[in-house]
Structure 1
Amino acid sequence: MQELELHCCGDLALKPISGIKNLQVVKLIGFIDVLYNSAISDIGLTLLAQGCRRLVKLELCGCEGSYDGVKAIGQCCQMLEELTLSEHRMDGGWLAGLSFCGNLKTLRLKSCRSIDKFPGADEHLGSCFTLEELHLQGCQIREMQSVKALFLVCENVRDILLQDCFGLEDDVFGLASICRRVKLLSLEGCSLLTIKGLESVVLSWKELQQLRVMSCNNIKDTEIKPELATLFSILRELIWRPDSRSLLSANLAETGMGKKGDRFFKRWKD
């Protein structure tokens, strides 16, 4: 057996599972309001990590745990490339455990009410040097310290995708400038973000090649400054649909997408 999805499970249920040595893809569902109310803690995560060392993808939904559990996964599951946390109930400080995931390429956070309430001092966080993609979907990201800690751990990330994240104001998004190697940014449903907040980050990313902005109603065409217009003209990919009234998106559709060129912008400005 290489793939397993386990619902309504607790720590004890993971003891026999840990004996399946060839597992590569695991999804554990612990706590979901109304449906499930089981606890997976550091004990269960450590049992899984020590027994299933060939894991490549791991999804934890409604799981508890802390730094110790995440550290155990990183140390034991050295082939782990993709980690997803949905509606997690992790204790403060769990983010620092990610630095032990030496081959992690993709980190996904879904429907999380908080990233990490008490991440600790910046110098103790470490970094995921191999991380390529960071996805946040439907998460609460109002806490500055928490978001800063996340971006510090993910400072080498190449792709950042933010969808329907609550609390993504300009100041919070500005913390993403910590990540200097970003090549792709995708924003969808980020209604609090303004063009000022967007500019403050993307203009600092010298390697940015792809930008997607969709359903971000507080971002306006009329507020685009020459510096951002210049960036648009050299991007390899630009998808610009912040709202239904966007003139730029209409002109991009007319000219065809996927081509470099000031052609886009000249026509739009005319």
Structure 2
Amino acid sequence: MSVLEENPDPPLKKWPPLWSDIWLKKTKPLKHVVFAMQLQSLASKDPKSQTLIPHFANIDRTLLLSDELLLKILSKLPLSQRNPNSLVCKRWLYLQGRLVRSLKILDWNFLVSGRLITRFPNLAHVDLLNGCLFSPRNSGILLTHRMVSMQMRYGNCSNWELLEENLLPVEVVDGGLQALANGCPNLRRLVVINASELGLLTLAEECLTLQELELHKCNDNVLRGIAACENLQILKLVGNVDGLYCSLVSDVGLTILAQGCKRLVKLELSGCEGSFDGIKAIGQCCLMLEELTICDHRMEDGWLAALSYCENLKTLRLLSCKRIDLDPGPDEYLGLCPSLERLHLQKCQLRSKKSVRALFRVCEALREVVVLDCWGLDNDMFTFASVCRRVKFLSLEGCSLLTTEGLEATVLSWLDLETLVVVSCKNIKESDISPALATLFCNLKELRWRPDAKSLLSSSLMGTGMGKKGGKFFKRT
């Protein structure tokens, strides 16, 4: 008796996996995208099938993308399209808020209510200056200052009274700073007015990455809070502003600042008082300081000699200063800034020869000199700049008292001069150019020569050779 044994089924042949299956194995959102594309393709080929799947024609394809992927796409779009994109839907509004890094607050309630943090969770730069001012809406009177702009109820009071009346109290400003610090721990830049030491201490404890701070209506007590910002690199202090508000920053505050903020790279003092001791403390403690800007200073005589303690200072800017230093002291006490390369003077009154002479003596190692709309710079004043033998760049604009003779006497002593810019200096005449000065012009790498309106044609032809070859067609009048 034979037993019939059933043969098992032959093994199925394994086909190699398709590349599309491998690619879509762990990409669930992409499966939905491919499926939707396939349905759309079928619907386009068969018009009858469009009635079976009508909801796919109006589906939002962006819903199949994750927030991270959609954020990368939106971040590649230009900034001009951010506001229109935020109006597409609530999701896009939320995602566009996550892309915003810088914001200027106009409504203080938007900050303290928590809507600011919810709407813009990744803020890095915040400007609270105009938000700290309570101004009535729908007012027909607008007060505009170089720092603030606000509406006012009536116009029969001074700017001082108006600002004090509409400025938020210190306690309210500190509360807003605390809310901002709790919601934006990655804050890097802040602009604020009328804050106290307590509010800045809270900011320093929570925002460890704060690197840039602009503080208006500052005084010595407030600087105790700033000193706690150990990672601060850029600082602007506004003390006294004529016609707007008055606040005192003296040597006491500058010393506190120097001992706390030792990583400062840029410092701007606007309307601040002080003397030799305050600037000396900054130079000795802030060893990384590279740029110092002094605007409308109220400093005592003799402060200029303290600049020699800023050993790594590279740029010195003097803006809107009514005086430099009326009594800088003897030359042996002035010292020298060894690393100073750039000196910018803008809208300053250069009346004292002693001040200008001391300034250029301290800045003897200069390589770049810029003088813009400074009153009082004549031939005698500009001669003091001849001690700066290493100057490569010179820009003069709005120096109406300087003549061609005074310019020539100084620039011919600068053997390294490469760039010369002369604009709106009406007493510098082309007819007074000597052969030595003309030779210097030929050796420069860059020349921008427009001392008056009549020199526009000559400056446009300079370097082209057209003035020589076609001299009979370009006659001077």
Whether the 8 Å CA contact 1:251–1:268 is kept in 2: the answer is: no
The verdict on how the C-alpha distance between 1:130 and 1:266 changes in structure 2, with shifts beyond 3 A counting, is: farther
One of 382, 385, 408 as aligned partner of 1:176: 385
Whether the 8 Å CA contact 2:399–2:424 is kept in 1: the answer is: yes
Matched, 1:125 2:325: no
2:300 alignment partner in structure 1: 91
Matched, 1:218 2:427: yes
Question: Relative contact order, CA 8 A, sep 6+: which one is greater?
Answer: 1
Q: CA RMSD in A?
A: 1.6
Q: Deviations over 1:207-231 (max 9, x none)?
A: 1111000000111011111010000
Matched, 1:69 2:278: yes
Offset at 1:254? 3.4
- For 2:406, give the aligned amino acid: G
Q: Distance in 1 between matches of 2:267 and 2:360?
A: 21
4+ residue segments displaced more than 4 Å:
263-270
Larger C-alpha radius of gyration, 1 or 2? 2
2:323 alignment partner in structure 1: 114
Matched, 1:2 2:2: no
Whether the 8 Å CA contact 2:319–2:346 is kept in 1: the answer is: yes
SS at match of 1:37: coil
**Normalized against structure 1, the TM-score is what?**
0.94
Q: Deviations over 1:10-64 (max 9, x none)?
A: 1111011101100000000001101121110000001001000000000000000
2:287 alignment partner in structure 1: 78
The equivalences for 1:126-205 within 5 A come to 126-205=335-414
The equivalences for 1:43-62 within 5 A come to 43-62=252-271
> Which structure has more helix as a fraction of its residues?
2
One of 237, 248, 251 as aligned partner of 1:39: 248
1:253 alignment partner in structure 2: 460
Offset at 1:117? 1.1
Q: Distance in 2 between matches of 1:151 and 1:119?
A: 12
Offset at 1:178? 1.1
- For 2:280, give the aligned amino acid: K
SS at match of 1:175: helix
> Which structure has more strand as a fraction of its residues?
1
Unaligned runs of 5+ in 1: 258-262
State, as a whole percentage, how many aligned pairs show the same letter: 60
Q: Distance in 2 between matches of 1:71 and 1:89?
A: 16
**Normalized against structure 2, the TM-score is what?**
0.54
The total of aligned residue pairs comes to: 263
Whether the 8 Å CA contact 1:151–1:178 is kept in 2: the answer is: yes
- For 1:161, give the aligned amino acid: V
